[in-house]
Amino acid sequence: MVLGSVTYAAFITLRGLWLGPLMVERFGMGLLQVGHVALVMSVVALFGPAFFGRLDPKEPRRRRWISRMTLLMAGMFVVLAVSQVALIAVLLAVAMGFLCGYMVLQYADVRQSYTPAQTGRAMAVFTMAMFMGIALMQWFTGLVAGWATGLGSDPYTAVLLTVAALLIAGTLAYQRLPQVKI
């Protein structure tokens, strides 16, 4: 649940809340250009789950893949946080759209962790954790942006580094907390 609450939230927080302001204010893009980036990012995101679903390495390697992909996503957020080049930001956003497809492996991980009688409830709790994570991450990054602005810092750098830190924290929790095999 901890990792599930930050992975999809990171993608949606970027795509749904910060992509437009970042591209407009940092790179001087117009709203039509930002709309094109968001559209491409969203279309590419449709293909990621099918791609990663076919590559599913199965247990025990699946958990390592999930961790590595989450850390890769965190690294991309760090690069996006410090990049001052519009093309790099656009390419990263599109790449993140595709890479977020690895999150489909988390569903397989949840499904494998519970008995068939409990799988439905486990999947429901996991899905609710994802959506709660979206709300919490968007709220929290709003606080971070306000705090950074108040200190005279770039709010986008602060927000994107915060998302990266949350992804890293989620990965560490996923790796270190006991695995529940019921």
Environment class of residue 124 by beta-carbon count within 10 Å: exposed (0-12), middle (13-18) or buried (19+)?
exposed
In angstroms, the Cα distances linking 160 to 3, 34, 75 are 17, 17, 10
In angstroms, how far is the first alpha carbon of the chain from the final one? Answer: 15
Q: What six digits make up the tokens of 4? A: 């599930």
Domain span at residue 92 reads 4-176
Q: Is residue 181 part of a domain?
A: no
Owner of token pair 């009688």: 117
Owner of token pair 């893009």: 29
Phi, psi (5° rounding) for residue 94? Answer: -65, -45
Query: What is the predicted pLDDT for the residue at 60?
Result: 83
pLDDT tens for residues 124-172?
Answer: 999 999 999 999 999 999 999 999 999 999 999 999 999 999 999 999 9
Q: Is residue 36 part of a domain?
A: yes
CA distance 112 to 106: 10
pLDDT tens for residues 102-134?
Answer: 999 999 999 988 889 999 999 999 999 999 999
| 55: DSSP letter | T
- pLDDT (average), residues 8-30: 98
Query: What is the predicted pLDDT for the residue at 182?
Result: 52
CATH number at residue 71: 1.20.1250.20
How many domains are contained in the chain?
1
CA distance 170 to 174: 6
User: How many Cα atoms within 13 Å fall on the side-chain side of residue 176?
Assistant: 6
**Other beta carbons less than 10 A from residue 174's beta carbon:** 21
Report the predicted TM-score, pTM, of the whole model to 2 decimal places: 0.94
Q: What angle do CA 42, 38, 101 make, to 5 degrees?
A: 30
Average pLDDT, the chain: 95
Q: Is residue 43 part of a domain?
A: yes
Q: Is residue 95 part of a domain?
A: yes
- pLDDT (average), residues 34-39: 98
Q: Is residue 182 part of a domain?
A: no
CA distance 64 to 76: 18
Q: Is residue 145 part of a domain?
A: yes
61, 162, 131, 138 alpha-carbon torsion, rounded to 10°: -160
